[in-house]
Structure 1
């Protein structure tokens, strides 16, 4: 078979030469060095507790807490949730005061989409990780995901141009929506997280964001009072098992953990209460029988997924887009035959332990 292919290729080249045409050279992929690897020699110890102070606290004392937006062009994604900054802010040029301001702004708006951030996307990863990301907390290395060679601090988003087996797994499901809050199984889950794409098709793959503060407010007061007494176990074990099955034991960088967090948590800067459950990692309510736990969690999952009036979407087709994120769901709407590589990264600073 290889001989036939070689002869066919040589014949094609000869034909092009006779006709005076030249075969176009394939351009190297600009972000080749950030392609994922799933085999790693990292054997990281368990994460240790650390003290975290949200930088948004400083912006609360700022007489002009949104001065970083003075030259910006803004558009609300929804009236009360999500903002798109179309122009006028360059993340690579924000000083410490302005970074604190954007931390507060994200806390208040839920999520922020920034366009025209090619400077950020093309910045050296050392700066993205150690300068930008570390300003907002201790950088998290994902325990099981693929990572670029030499940069395990970058958690990758990856879809081959022809699709992945993960997408095909949705063929027998009514919906591809998989709401999650990133690595909520950690004792100190992420705070302000930065997500960006190196490459993506023009259409498809929007990210859905959910206002967990508003989701909490929609519930009846007596039910909220009860929920505030509850603790939920979050587990990384199932994600570990899927990673081993898909890529082998060598993809594991840290052993899986389980941690218990309040079902309702309070934001350290705004003071607002929010639901803190997600079907990706929440497993059971402590102290309840399994059927009782399942009933409450499934009610909340259903409430969150159907709350279209407290959700917002970010589109990725525009090059140079960066999103500062909260609880969200990646929409796997590729089943219609869309072809194109989807390749991005997440810089994930850890924050405080959830509290009420």
Structure 2
């Protein structure tokens, strides 16, 4: 019997790990004979001819027998609400090295382990990511935890684990959304008919309840390239004139998964549609349930038309916003994926794009996204 849209399929798997297989002996400095830890490297940097890829089992498969029913609405209460009551809402960062990438958006953190956070720490984390938009945590053992923990303990704390209707996943764990590209295959929603590979979007906004706090980590990557760009949709909103902001707040937009599903039905990205596509109408400007901040909520990948406008009017206004978002370098950051890093972002208030600048070299980029659904967008 096929699993339901909310059921976690479990099977015994060894832990996820991106610890390099290379020699971990400390390096002696010529000046002081002191030792330092070897810099973590990707498997593709250290592999020798004939070495078995240690994450083979986490490569995407496309289960043609997995047919999922429509998603049902559910009540979501963001854990960040509890952190608002906390007298020290950033105490989970005590002892950490915190580096803000810009004054208002994007942060890099070292010195804490995500998997060790208790409920209070996770509540604070949810609020912190909502405030900063996107946060990358370095040198994590997050990847070494069992898949069941990553789904049932971590992801479910922040919302209902989402099963992507078209993407590949590891065998037995459809809730893992895998990103994969190498010199011979690409299993992403990607086309080569544009001048650039960049497609700014928020994930699966066609769902009635799109994702909230989302996690991404890579198993393997080229030594350079394959970064992810992030844009602050709150700042994009604030940059607009007051009169335009007021008008946009009266509008709603149709978000559709039909084109993505048809892309798969034609044989791309594995050729599988696990759940029939849906369309939903969301406000063009949404409010974050915890911080109360407003953000633009459109993207060219899934937004199709503004309700109540003629097609030319809708296209002109949406294209203005798309150009604004992708051109807004003053509210964007570009994050480099490093071994043992985890990127967390709030999908309600950010947009992002993969940067496929490594394709010519044929390098492999292989990662997993954990995607908890949140509340239905509202203003």
Q: Would you say same fold, with TM above 0.5?
A: yes
> Relative to 1, partners in 2 of residues 1:161 and 1:121: Cα closer, same or farther, differing over 3 Å?
farther
Aligned to 2:309: 288
Query: Is residue 2:333 matched to residue 1:312?
Result: yes
Q: Does 1:95 align with 2:121?
A: no
Cα pair distance change 1:165/1:252, threshold 3 Å: closer
Give the match's secondary structure for 1:251.
coil
Q: What 5-or-longer segments of structure 2 have no aligned partner?
A: 1-47
- 1:302 aligned counterpart, secondary structure: helix
Q: Does 1:322 align with 2:339?
A: no
- Residue by residue, what CA displacement relative to the aligned partner does 1:207-244 show, whole Å, maximum 9, x if unpaired? 00010000000101111111000000000000000011
> SS of 2:267's equivalent?
helix
1:73 pairs with 2:97: yes
**Could you list the per-position Cα deviations for residues 101-159 of structure 1 after superposition, in whole angstroms to 9, with x for gaps in the alignment?**
01000000000011101x21121111101100000000000001111100100000101
Q: C-alpha separation between the residues in 1 aligned to 2:182 and 2:353?
A: 19
Aligned partners of 1:338, 1:203: CA distance in 2, in Å? 11
- Partners of 1:185 and 1:236 within 8 A in 2: yes
Match of 1:121 among 143, 160, 170: 143
Instruction: Give runs of aligned pairs for residues 9-88 of structure 1, distance below 5 A.
Output: 26-85=50-109, 87-88=110-111
Residue 258 of structure 1 is matched in structure 2 by: 279
| Higher radius of gyration, 1 or 2 | 1
User: How many residues in Structure 1 have an aligned counterpart in Structure 2?
Assistant: 328
Q: Could you list the runs of 4 or more consecutive aligned residues of structure 1 that deviate by over 6 angstroms after TM superposition?
A: 165-168
How far, CA to CA, are the matches of 1:248 and 1:161 in structure 2? 14
Q: Does 1:344 align with 2:367?
A: yes
**Contact 2:62–2:270, Cα closer than 8 Å, also in 1:** no
Moved more, 281-290 or 72-81: 72-81
Gaps of 5+ in 1: 1-23
TM-score of the superposed pair, with normalisation by structure 2: 0.83
Equivalent residues of 2:224, 2:358 under 8 A apart: no
CA contact (8 A) 2:228 2:334 kept: yes
Q: What root-mean-square deviation, in Å, do the aligned CA atoms of Structure 1 and Structure 2 show?
A: 1.8
Q: Structure 1 length normalisation: TM-score?
A: 0.89
Aligned 8 A contact 1:240 1:252 in 2: yes
- Deviates further, 27-36 or 45-54: 27-36
Matches within 5 A, 1:233-272: 233-247=254-268, 251-272=272-293
Q: Quote how far apart the aligned CAs of 1:169 are.
A: 4.4
